[in-house]
Amino acid sequence: MAILITGGAGFIGSNFVYEWVNHSNEQIINLDKLTYAGNLENLKALKNQGQHIFVQGDIANQELVGQLLEKYQPRAIINFAAASHVDRSIKGPEDFVMTNVVGTFKLLEAARHYYSNLTDQNKAQFRFLHVSTDEVYGSLLPTENGFTEKNPYQPNSPYSASKASSDHFVRAYYHTYGLPVLTTNCSNNYGPFQFPEKLLPLIIHNALNEKPLPVYGDGTQVRDWLYVTDHCQAIMTVLENGQLGEVYNVGGFNEQKNIEVVKSICSHLDKKRPRAQGKSYSELITFVTDRPGHDKRYAIDATKINKNLDWAPKETFQTGLEKTVNWYLDNQAWTQSVTSGEYRKWVDTNYAARG
């Protein structure tokens, strides 16, 4: 038995590989293009290397995906691969269309062909699980309830528009071709191996290097933070027990304003790695020009996955943040290795004009 995952050298995908190897003996085939966001470093510490097979390649390469499906005969595909950063989607939306829309479409096509040739018994087992985001639902007003699976899609960034499009294709392949799909829409994740372009690792990285901590706009935007391992466990739960064709929203029951998140990181670092002369890292906080079209608030109502599949996050924000800060402190060589030439170019592109 085997599963095929895509994007398993990225942040959530690599955490998923560790969770999988810890919980199962089943082989895991990992197809990843190794963009700037994918790093084989992330998978170095895997204990059972033989259980994990890495293949470098693009999800849009239907022929390659078809060959992998024929060779390994997986019982499931989990699609993590995506261009994932909102600010990059604003600077250059095309990669987002190519991977998130066209790539997912090609992956679905390869899966449809493979599925159509399976025996009835293997068909009954097969699943295509698409990993998506709460950003497809758009932005909430402060008084609105969290997103349920019934909220209308109102994407506001090229990133969320491309993910919304991929979600629609996944849904259509269930209704039109009977491909046994499942979709998860999750809130913001944080934890080990997150590329330091995203808020938490960026703030930790800058703080440790005595650089300004950039907060967009007034910092009152709200995100619902979930520790990455809790997300991985939700995906495993949906894979094993989710109802075919259904969508499951996954969230942390943990809304925080960006400025609060940044201050919490600073106070953890103040305790764990005090600055010189008793200064606080919070003195490095700098308010910078806002992101265009910045969504004000995301929040997930995770009642469905909680009630129907008995999933709940294990980490609180307090415990998850402590683990995360400690991980980045203990793994500064990892951050060094991923913040090379390309990363510096991105930092110049994104932050120089924000003032």
CA angle 227, 2, 176 (to 5 degrees): 85
Q: Which of residues 65-104 bind ligand NAD (CB under 6 A)?
A: 80-84, 99, 103
**Quick one: tokens of 190?**
């944080």
Smallest separation (angstroms) from ligand NAD to the CB of 283: 28
Quick one: which of 188, 206, 264, 306 contacts ligand NAD (CB under 6 A)?
188
Interface mask toward ligand TYD for 79-98; x: CB under 6 A:
-------x------------
Specify whether 18 is catalytic: no
Count of other CB atoms within 10 angstroms of residue 121: 8
Which pairs with CB-CB distance under 8 Å and at least 24 residues apart come from 140-143?
A: 140/296, 140/297, 140/298, 140/299, 141/296, 141/297, 142/222, 142/296, 142/297
Burial class (CB within 10 angstroms; exposed 0-12, middle 13-18, buried 19+) of 240: exposed
Quick one: which of 65, 179, 182, 202 contacts ligand TYD (CB under 6 A)?
202
Specify whether 87 is catalytic: no
- What is the separation, in whole angstroms, between the first and last Cα of the chain? 53
Residue with tokens 């997986």: 74
Residue 221 touches which member of ligand TYD, ligand NAD, none, C-beta under 5-8 Å by kind: ligand TYD
Smallest separation (angstroms) from ligand NAD to the CB of 34: 5
Residue with tokens 């991980």: 327
Q: Which of 32, 58, 135, 230 is catalytic?
A: 135
- Binding status of residue 12 toward ligand TYD by CB under 6 A: no
Burial 1-39 (b: 16+ CB within 10 A, else e): ebbbbbbbbbbbbbbbbbbbbeeeeebbbbbbbebebbb
Distance (Å, whole) CA 168 – CA 153: 10
CA angle 17, 184, 2 (to 5 degrees): 35
Interface mask toward ligand NAD for 199-238; x: CB under 6 A:
----------------------------------------
Of the pair 130, 163, the CB lying nearest ligand TYD is at 163
Smallest separation (angstroms) from ligand TYD to the CB of 158: 12
Cβ-Cβ contacts under 8 Å for 322 (sequence gap 6 or more): 268
- Binding status of residue 179 toward ligand TYD by CB under 6 A: no
- Binding status of residue 297 toward ligand TYD by CB under 6 A: no
- Binding status of residue 13 toward ligand NAD by CB under 6 A: yes
Nearest to 53 by CA among 21, 22, 94: 21
Specify whether 173 is catalytic: no
Residue 33 touches which member of ligand TYD, ligand NAD, none, C-beta under 5-8 Å by kind: ligand NAD
Distance (Å, whole) CA 253 – CA 145: 12
Residue 103 touches which member of ligand NAD, ligand TYD, none, C-beta under 5-8 Å by kind: ligand NAD
Interface mask toward ligand NAD for 109-148; x: CB under 6 A:
----------------------x-x---------------
CB 355 within 8 A of CB 288: yes
**Quick one: tokens of 42?**
């992330």
Site residue total, ligand TYD (CB under 6 A):
12
CB 24 within 8 A of CB 96: no
Residue 223 touches which member of ligand TYD, ligand NAD, none, C-beta under 5-8 Å by kind: ligand TYD
Q: Which of 32, 58, 134, 224 is catalytic?
A: 134
Active site residues: 134-135, 159
Q: Which residues bind ligand NAD (CB under 6 A)?
A: 6-7, 9-13, 32-35, 37-38, 58-60, 80-84, 99, 103, 131, 133, 163, 186, 188-189, 195
Footprint of ligand TYD (CB under 6 A): 86, 188, 198-199, 202, 214-216, 221, 223, 258, 291
